[in-house]
Structure 1
Amino acid sequence: MKTAPDGSEKTATASSPLRSWQFRKVLTAEFITSLGTQMTTLALPWFVLTTSGSPARMGLVFLIQILPVPLLSMWAGLLVARWGPRRVTIVGDLANAVLVASVPALYLAEMLPFWALLVIVALIGCVASGYLSAQRVLLAEAIGSDEGAVTAGNALFETATSTARLIGPAGAGFLIAQFGALNVLWIDAASFALSAALLTGLPRRVPRPEAAAAHNMTEGVRYLLRDPVLRTMSLAALGYGALMPVVLLALPVMARTRYDSDPHVAGWLLSAWGGGTALGTLVVARLARRISPTRLAAWGGVGAAVALWFLPWDQPALTTALTVAAGCMFLPAVTAPAVALMTLRPPEHLRPHVVPVFGALVFTASPVAYAVAGVLFEQFAVGTVLAGVAVGASLCSLVLLSLVRTPAD
């Protein structure tokens, strides 16, 4: 045991999340599923884009997949409170394994019209509505309640995700060229099944009855709106939820329009996204105990805005990848503190309801962004659209800078 400055005792887990075997299991499961998902993130839109030639159809696939998340997030919070995050995550893993595998299976059987693909991705989105918030609550259970440790834990959690973003798309680009886009989805399906097997080893926790009360869903919204720090974080999150999907959608479009429809370039651009984020998460994990979450988020927003101003330029693929990596390097400094504050500031019985509301805010803008971005890329040059993203990111950074003068407690 260690002694905190106020004289209270802190567990070793609070000083180092990696000392918790439960955290290591959750982290490993996240890396495995993220690796498969990041391959799908390139493979599925690449399949739609190359077979239809339509960025709008590609955007529609993203839209349909993400739309259920904001619509169902608050009800998903009730499910997490009643079932517990462990059970929701395992069931979500198994459901995702079946749904993802059904895409190549139906394609091989020549039973995959475009509407059927949209139904499948919509169901994946329904699963994600509960899965995403359950993961974060499960993470907090594995770490404890120390603010610095939870911020560091969330940064390490994003390290696993971003490392998968670095490896997955590059590997997917190679595999797509060799075996075709849809065959890559088998790997994603297997990753979900393996994650479910890993998480079955976590201890069972009986959910508290008061945490599952339906009225807590409304109280979660009210708490989020009353708290000035969470309210400001949510406003910034809404902005990034609208902006970053446009950047993500721009990467395969740039590979197609600027770089001769080369899937390898598309893979490397997505890998640059993951590589920059991975580097940023490692830095945030080290800084989490030295800098307050609000200040860390503010300066992360400024750094991301500056980097995104270089992205609209027409440039070689290498410098585009470096620019993407630089912009994404600052994002964990925003997201890790935001998730930590959303998890720890509310009372424990409200956390399963505040976290999904925050997720709903992020994902509310994403479906609109994917739909609008697909149309914008058909009407305007990719550089013009990305210049608008840079303006929006600058505004988000100003919102986050207001937190520097707001106490975190």
Structure 2
Amino acid sequence: MSEPIPARAALLREPNFKWLLRGGVISMLGDQLTMIALPWLVFRLTGDTVALGLVIALMSIPRAVFILVGGALVDRHSPRRVLMLSKYANAALLAVLTLLVLDQRPAHTLDVGAALSLTVVMTPHLTLMAIYALAFGIGLAQAFGIPSGTSIMPLAIAPQQLQAANGMLMGLRQLSMLAGPLIAAGLLAIGGDGGHLQRQAHGAGPLVADARGLALAFGLDCLSFLVSAWTLSKVRLLAAPPSTPAPASVLRAVGDGLAMVWRDVPLRTCFIYWGAVSLLIGGAMQVGLPVLSAALHGAATLGLLMGVHGAGTLLGMGAAALGGARLRFASFGTLLLLIDGAVGLLVMPLGAVDAVWQAASLMLAIGVLAGFMQINVFTWIQRRVPPHMMGRAMSIFMFIFMGLAPLSAGATGWLLTMVPLSQLFAGGGMILVLCAALAYVFTPMRRITNA
């Protein structure tokens, strides 16, 4: 049966959940502002797609590399403390970025006499190297914020409320991914998007003029981290993780986390399966969708497809949060493999569509299935892993997708130079169906229960 209405109402009255929900929504909306404003700033400043890609990479690489260390520190010092520090670090970095964007001062000439003038070059402090350094710092802070943010919920609310709590929070995250870019676009349109690039004399570098909208976006994200840190200070953990002797080093703690996952056969099986899927086909959607959109109608089509997929994901998350056990017609492992097989069948025809509505229909269905399973996966991990190992387990889980998916994307881009798009999607879908079938037959995944 689905979770009764009084139980969901009780969750919304739970003080810890209310503070986590408020802070999470504020922080997620702020994150979307920076995700839009930072690439736009770099592109306006340089006009160079290589620089744009490098900034994105500098945010992604430290996040993927250090997320395992972040998970170990979460277990050693508590997720609440690490999350609080990561929020303050993000706020400080974004405050610096906001001030640098505002501090764009062009060269100007002072008349000091009838026949004499003096050109004063005021070099702006916002340089590409400064943006690179700040982007690296933001990615590094996320490496500690992500595992702590995904580990705090089991320590803040009752276990029986995890499914509904994850559904609400992750559903709101999906909504923020839809609403955040619209808010960012409005800020840039009203306050200025840095569209006037001024070239300075005397060898001074370019500066982005009329960039108040960009500064406002960064400033609001900075404020969102401060407000969410304040809401986090209101959370009182129900129980501290069990006291265990601290390993001699952080790397040893990371090794203990990997060993814990390896010894737990269901965890090990699922993590290996997710790693294989992420590595083999994770890049097909990231790289293939822009190419598909260009073949249909261009950038507007990509936005439409991503929006439809996001809406489907939101519907699936809502179904998982509200439907609960009533919609689980099989064990966790069997349901996971069945949904992956269904997604593979939906991916196969994507490259052969010749109309936007056909691609949108497929992306909507894929989003619904992915959103429904995403809630179940997070809840299953949170219920299975001991609290004192939660940070490391969640960091390993997130590393699978943040570390392996970019490798898959690079391989997919190379593969598209040799095979047509239709074969890429057809092959990727068949690989996913085959992975699910092989896992069902040859691994214990089908016997993994929801408990």
Instruction: State the TM-score, normalized to the length of structure 2.
Output: 0.73
| Partners of 1:172 and 1:377 in 2: CA distance | 33
Where 2:159 maps in the other structure, the secondary structure is coil
| Partners of 2:189 and 2:350 in 1: CA distance | 27
Q: Answer yes or no: is the 8 Å Cα contact 1:30–1:195 preserved in 2.
A: yes
Check 1:120–1:354 CA distance in 2 against 1; reply closer, same or farther (3 A cut). same
Hey, what does 1:324 align to over in structure 2? 363
Letter in 1 for 2:235: L
Does residue 366 in structure 1 map to residue 393 in structure 2? Answer: no
Tell me how far 1:356 sits from its aligned partner: 1.9
Hey, what does 1:180 align to over in structure 2? 193
Hey, what does 1:194 align to over in structure 2? 227
Tell me how far 1:202 sits from its aligned partner: 0.8
Does residue 247 in structure 1 map to residue 285 in structure 2? Answer: yes
- State which of 290, 307, 323 in structure 2 corresponds to 1:271: 307
How many percent identity over aligned positions? 23
Hey, what does 1:119 align to over in structure 2? 133
| Partners of 1:379 and 1:102 in 2: CA distance | 45
Letter in 2 for 1:336: I
- String of CA shifts for 1:247-276, please: whole Å, max 9, x gaps: 3466667667754555xx655444333222
More helix by share: 1
Instruction: Give the stretch that moved more between structures: 217-226 or 385-394.
Output: 385-394
| Partners of 2:233 and 2:416 in 1: CA distance | 44
| Partners of 2:435 and 2:222 in 1: CA distance | 36
Instruction: Give the stretch that moved more between structures: 20-29 or 159-168.
Output: 20-29
Check 1:90–1:302 CA distance in 2 against 1; reply closer, same or farther (3 A cut). same
Tell me how far 1:104 sits from its aligned partner: 5.0
Check 1:319–1:330 CA distance in 2 against 1; reply closer, same or farther (3 A cut). same
| Partners of 2:184 and 2:338 in 1: CA distance | 33
- Which has the greater radius of gyration? 2
Question: After superposition, where does 1:383-394 map in structure 2 within 5 Å?
Answer: 386=425, 389-394=428-433
Question: After superposition, where does 1:114-153 map in structure 2 within 5 Å?
Answer: 114-146=128-160, 149-153=161-165
RMSD: 3.7
Instruction: Give the stretch that moved more between structures: 90-99 or 175-184.
Output: 175-184
Hey, what does 1:8 align to over in structure 2? none
Check 1:256–1:49 CA distance in 2 against 1; reply closer, same or farther (3 A cut). farther
Q: Answer yes or no: is the 8 Å Cα contact 1:173–1:267 preserved in 2.
A: no
Hey, what does 1:156 align to over in structure 2? 168
- String of CA shifts for 1:207-230, please: whole Å, max 9, x gaps: 554174455543321221222321
Q: Answer yes or no: is the 8 Å Cα contact 1:251–1:266 preserved in 2.
A: yes
Q: Answer yes or no: is the 8 Å Cα contact 2:55–2:135 preserved in 1.
A: yes
- State which of 323, 346, 350 in structure 1 corresponds to 2:389: 350
Q: Answer yes or no: is the 8 Å Cα contact 1:164–1:274 preserved in 2.
A: no
- State which of 92, 96, 105 in structure 2 corresponds to 1:98: 92
Hey, what does 1:82 align to over in structure 2? 76
- String of CA shifts for 1:346-395, please: whole Å, max 9, x gaps: 33333332222222233221343455567778998776655565455434
Does residue 282 in structure 1 map to residue 318 in structure 2? Answer: yes
Instruction: State the TM-score, normalized to the length of structure 1.
Output: 0.79
Does residue 339 in structure 1 map to residue 378 in structure 2? Answer: yes
Where 1:180 maps in the other structure, the secondary structure is coil
Hey, what does 2:269 align to over in structure 1? 232
Instruction: Give the stretch that moved more between structures: 241-250 or 360-369.
Output: 241-250
Check 1:318–1:111 CA distance in 2 against 1; reply closer, same or farther (3 A cut). farther
Check 1:128–1:376 CA distance in 2 against 1; reply closer, same or farther (3 A cut). farther
| Partners of 2:77 and 2:317 in 1: CA distance | 30
Instruction: Give the stretch that moved more between structures: 316-325 or 124-133.
Output: 316-325
Tell me how far 1:345 sits from its aligned partner: 2.0
Check 1:40–1:347 CA distance in 2 against 1; reply closer, same or farther (3 A cut). same
Structure 1: 5+ residue stretches without partners: 1-11
Check 1:74–1:188 CA distance in 2 against 1; reply closer, same or farther (3 A cut). same
Tell me how far 1:138 sits from its aligned partner: 0.9
- State which of 244, 249, 256 in structure 2 corresponds to 1:210: 244
Instruction: Give the stretch that moved more between structures: 282-291 or 133-142.
Output: 282-291
Q: Answer yes or no: is the 8 Å Cα contact 2:156–2:236 preserved in 1.
A: no
Tell me how far 1:340 sits from its aligned partner: 2.4
Letter in 2 for 1:236: Y
Q: Answer yes or no: is the 8 Å Cα contact 1:82–1:209 preserved in 2.
A: no
- String of CA shifts for 1:12-66, please: whole Å, max 9, x gaps: 8799644532123212322222223234434444555677676665444333222
Higher relative contact order (CA 8 A, sep 6+): 1
